[in-house]
Amino acid sequence: MMNEFREKGLSKEEISHRLQAFRKRDVPWRDGRVFSYVYHAGDDVEEVAKMAYNEYLSENGLDVTAFPSLMEMENQIMGMCRWLLRGDAHVSGSFTSGGTESLLLAAKTARDYAQHKHPHIAQPEVIMAETIHSSLFKACNYFQLKPILVPAREDHKVYAEDMAKYITPNTILLAASAPSYAYGVYDDIEEIGKLAAEHQLLFHVDACIGGFIGSLNRLNGWQQPDFDFSVPGITSISMDLHKYGYTPKGASVLLYKTEEIRRHQYYVCNEWTGYTVVNPTMLSSKSGGPIAAAWAVMNYLGLDRYKSMARETMHAVETLKNGIENIKGLTLIGSQLTSLICFTSSRINIYDLADELKTRKWVVNLQFSHSRVPANIHMSVTYQHIHKVSEFLYDLEESVKQVSKRVLPKLMDMATLKTANAMAGNMSADMMAQFAPMLGIKDGQLPDKMAVINQLLNDLPKEMSKELLLRFMGDLYAAHAPKS
Ligand SMILES: Cc1ncc(COP(=O)(O)O)c(C=O)c1O
């Protein structure tokens, strides 16, 4: 086999040059035209984060006895988060690599807690809002828990009354969002808390979005539902720092009501031949960078600046929502008292609209239809967007007009779609591979216009679209030698 490893290393300048070159096809988030992925509070904040990250780049969070400084910073971060979430002195938790790890751990802790308390449960069940983030679905998949989905009502909110119907002797955890990512709606947290307490069940609130901005809104005097440890019955809360805490990625927090529950998150291994492993979270060796940077950003911004950033962000959200509502053909979905915006249209093709916005250099998230909610566009509005509101609304209105005029491409899209649907029932892997070029996928690269693909993914049977996505991902990740 050909040697795929470079014999002689490149210079520092060349490395830097190549890194810049790699970036060319990435979304241009620095312009404030991307409504997801990156939470940017300003160049000064980024500078502080980089300084702290670099300072702790090589330190290892594996062993607190070797790096007590990382534990100290983590404990201080926990203290700040606990205060935001109105937890008492018993509340404590861990710093994790992101919302996904926080949710994975919340589920794993519930499983192990149940094994300890109710060893007779053979198939543990998690009763969760159908609108909860996918990472809890993933947790159920990883840890062999049975997900029981509770449908949201017309207002996209999941209610305690509905959850109650699903409780069985196998239930180990209730879970809901504050707010849900997709529609930006707080579930019925207070009542679900009562339900959990009544049945002596664990109750996890996913506040990966709301933990920061929701708490700041409360401190800013907003009237909104309570979702933190002030609500009786909540036993754990996940809260991302790398979202509305504006810290670099790899930063989330999972807090527990009591130490009795938290201890089931920890993992100890002294059976193997090496050093004794005591892992509070999933990873073992981990860079001190994310912890140091989170500590630095939180201390640099301070509560005052966080509060004013939240105020300005929510002002931008309100203006955006009013503007969207005033554009003929668009309808808002959910998005109550949160920084997330979701809208759809019954008049124009929403996939086309996302493409049209892309040609105007705006990046929004498409969300596929789900039960009675049609396919829609999601935007996570952050502090970076506050000066982009009128420009976005102008382009959105223009894009809607443009898309309304397009008839021919839509007909063509429908034809492709019909073919796909007809083939879907018995399509083999090879047939699917042949199908890719029809959709404009060439050499593992997606076309600029994604409307047809998105419509197809939305309309295909779920198992079929899963298979397509898996194959596509498999083709994308293909090892090759460095380009010389
Ligand atoms: C409500 C909610 N929970 C969990 C997550 C997962 O977080 P991460 O992407 O940091 O793993 C997200 C991400 O958007 C989220 O919005």
pLDDT value for 413: 56
Domains of the chain and any CATH numbers: 52-297 (3.40.640.10), 408-476 (no CATH)
Question: Mean of the pLDDT values across residues 60-69?
Answer: 95
Token pair belonging to 134? 């996918």
**Residues 249/260, Cβ–Cβ less than 8 Å:** no
Compute the distance from residue 113 Cα to the ligand 1 centre, in Å.
Answer: 24
Amino acid, res. 354: A
pLDDT value for 412: 43
Return the best residue to mutate from 35, 100, 136, 205 for the ligand 1 pocket (most ligand atoms within 8 A of CB).
Answer: 100
pLDDT value for 174: 98
Tens-place pLDDT, residues 103-150: 999 999 999 999 999 999 999 999 999 999 999 999 999 999 999 999
Token pair belonging to 290? 């994310």
pLDDT value for 460: 82
Host H or E run for residue 268: strand 267-269
Beta strands per DSSP E along 100-170:
125-129, 146-150
Compute the distance from residue 99 Cα to the ligand 1 centre, in Å.
Answer: 5
Compute the distance from residue 180 Cα to the ligand 1 centre, in Å.
Answer: 9
For residue 209, which atom of ligand 1 is closest to its CA?
1
Q: Kindly report the pTM of this predicted structure.
A: 0.95
Dihedral (C-alpha) 151, 155, 158, 163: value to the nearest 10 degrees?
A: -60
Whether residue 424 has pLDDT greater than 70: no
For residue 101, which atom of ligand 1 is closest to its CA?
11
Ligand 1-lining residues (CB < 6 angstroms)? 98-100, 103, 133, 135, 177, 181, 206, 208-209, 240, 252
With a CB cutoff of 8 Å and minimum separation 6, the contacts of 193 are 203, 231, 232, 233, 234
Report residue 247 CA to chain centroid gap. Answer: 15
Strands 277-279 and 267-269 come out as: antiparallel
Return the best residue to mutate from 38, 96, 189, 209 for the ligand 1 pocket (most ligand atoms within 8 A of CB).
Answer: 209
For residue 98, which atom of ligand 1 is closest to its CA?
10
Is the backbone peptide bond immediately before 179 cis, with ω within 30 degrees of 0? yes
Distance CA 424, CA 421 (A): 5
DSSP state of 24: G
Token pair belonging to 255? 């807090």
**Residues 153/126, Cβ–Cβ less than 8 Å:** no
Tens-place pLDDT, residues 238-277: 999 999 999 999 999 999 999 999 999 999 999 999 999 9
